[in-house]
Structure 1
Amino acid sequence: MGDIGCYCRVSTQDQSLDRQLESTQEYAEGKFDADLGRLRFYRDKSTGTNTERADYQQMMADAESGDIDAVVVHSISRICRSISDLERTASQLEDAGVELHIISEGLTLRPDESDPYQTALFQLLGVFAELEANMAQQRTKEGIAARQQNDDYHHGPAPLGFEKNDGLLVEGENYHEVVGVLDMVQKNELSKRKAAQRLNTSRATVNRALDRASLYGI
């Protein structure tokens, strides 16, 4: 076994990759008896709904050129959130003779083995990953629609991360940053005080945003 690719992804610049880096490194070292020198880390801070990500593209290029023999990811949603992209990724890795190991779901896809159960589970998990992404987008749309029906919306300021455009609530320039920070707070990865500092706002504003989680799809 040659080098091992450890792929880690979060959606926004403010989210931390540390947990995934630790998880994939620990798995690769234990599974392949690989020292740190054989591990290649690929890091993206971008949406998983498409594959236009710099380190993802580099990883796939390294797989195709034979520079890595296996790819390790923490969970299936980290590599892709679209079933078509997942299937394309798995197919390209298989053609390149590269194994795919997905830690959380306990899945291993090997190019020299045909396991109908593993393949079916991979496809099913891909469907759920895409569904989760679509549901988050839908929750955001529904939250905005509900907010616009509220009389307070028409008279009060726009919520954190939003702007008003001709009377309509639209995502502001820092919307995705706000979503990432609020998500970290909900997962107890960041305190409300630090969240307020990062977003240059007050803890009270952060609390109000968390009370309106549906606006942010979280």
Structure 2
Amino acid sequence: MRLVAYIRVSTEKQLDGYGLDVQEKAVRAWARQAGHRLGRPIYRDEGRSGTLESAERPGLAAALTEVEDGRAQGILVPALDRFARTLVVQEAILAQIWKHGGRAFTADTGEIHRDDPDDPMRTAMRQMMGVFSQLERSMINARLRNGRREKAAQGGYAYGAPPYGWQAHKKELTPEGMEQAGRARARQLRDEDELSYREIAAVLDAEGLRPKRGERWHPETVRRMLANTTDQPPTLRRRAA
């Protein structure tokens, strides 16, 4: 069977060693052992939360498109929580796969079988796994918030990865030259040329203005970047408030 593989890391997962390289090894090993062929590329989303829907994750959206178009018979992930970190999103993604006749697999448990009215425990067990994944994410976020409060109390920058256009330097956010140029160019393309987010992404890629993560711009990334219209660092905005 031809499968496409999907792997993902979010901010939390980058901290616990479950990186993209580890996930890729897991899906490749499982596919070999189970006798399935993996298509190329292995789709990935880096720094994308498992709470986001498929439309907001370019890698997952591309993998789903292969199934919808019939180019792949299913999707393989390292574990169920790579699909989603909330139950609602998890079930929506699985329903999308099954709707188009695809199958879903995880490297740790094998196939995720479709609902069977004669076997309600199958659905219940899968959804319980989604609930516990959502709980784990909430607990991780709580620990991160507590750590940030402690760091902020000691005078450090404690608000996660700096947004596009800024870098953390000596406990403060300072402008990052190339990214500030990217922000300015994107605003110009939007305000003066009235380009769509997709068109802006293409221009930024062509001009060598890279996003903070990944190699290419995506329309949603452009939209979020342009939504931040202030020229003040986030720390200064919080103090002013």
| Interval of TM-score (by shorter of Structure 1 and Structure 2) | 0.5 to 0.7
Aligned to 1:83: 87
Asked if 1 retains the 8 angstrom alpha-carbon contact of 2:27 and 2:78, the reply is yes
Q: 1:30: Cα distance to partner?
A: 2.2
Q: 1:72: Cα distance to partner?
A: 1.1
Correspondence 1:173 to 2:162: yes
Correspondence 1:5 to 2:9: no
Aligned to 1:23: 26
Aligned to 2:129: 125
Alignment of 1:46-195 (within 5 A): 46-51=48-53, 52-104=56-108, 106-111=109-114, 115-146=119-150, 153=154, 157-158=155-156, 162=157, 170-171=159-160, 173=162
Instruction: Output one character per residue of 1:16-64: Cα deviation in whole Å (capped at 9) or x when no partner.
Output: 4111111111212222x2345x465211102222131111011112222
Asked if 1 retains the 8 angstrom alpha-carbon contact of 2:115 and 2:122, the reply is no
**Matched residues in 2 for 1:95 and 1:142: separation?**
41
After TM superposition, the score normalised by the length of structure 2 is 0.56
Asked if 1 retains the 8 angstrom alpha-carbon contact of 2:4 and 2:74, the reply is yes
Asked if 2 retains the 8 angstrom alpha-carbon contact of 1:97 and 1:111, the reply is no
**Matched residues in 2 for 1:143 and 1:77: separation?**
24
**Matched residues in 2 for 1:123 and 1:102: separation?**
15
Cα–Cα, structure 1 residues 39 and 119, in superposed 2: closer, same or farther, change >3 Å?
A: farther
Instruction: Output one character per residue of 1:111-141: Cα deviation in whole Å (capped at 9) or x when no partner.
Output: 4966433322211111111111111112222
Asked if 2 retains the 8 angstrom alpha-carbon contact of 1:98 and 1:110, the reply is no
Identity fraction in percent: 25
Aligned to 2:177: none
- State the AA in 2 paired with 1:86: Q
**Matched residues in 1 for 2:123 and 2:110: separation?**
9
Name structure 2 gaps, 5 residues minimum: 169-241
Asked if 1 retains the 8 angstrom alpha-carbon contact of 2:115 and 2:123, the reply is no
Aligned to 2:185: none
Asked if 1 retains the 8 angstrom alpha-carbon contact of 2:8 and 2:82, the reply is yes
Asked if 1 retains the 8 angstrom alpha-carbon contact of 2:116 and 2:122, the reply is no
Q: 1:90: Cα distance to partner?
A: 0.9
In the comparison of the two structures, how many residue pairs are matched? 157
Aligned to 1:42: 43
**Matched residues in 1 for 2:134 and 2:61: separation?**
20
Asked if 1 retains the 8 angstrom alpha-carbon contact of 2:26 and 2:78, the reply is yes
Name structure 1 gaps, 5 residues minimum: 163-168, 179-218
**Matched residues in 2 for 1:108 and 1:35: separation?**
15
Cα–Cα, structure 1 residues 23 and 147, in superposed 2: closer, same or farther, change >3 Å?
A: closer
Cα–Cα, structure 1 residues 144 and 107, in superposed 2: closer, same or farther, change >3 Å?
A: same
- What do you get for the CA RMSD once the two structures are aligned? 3.0
- State the AA in 2 paired with 1:41: I
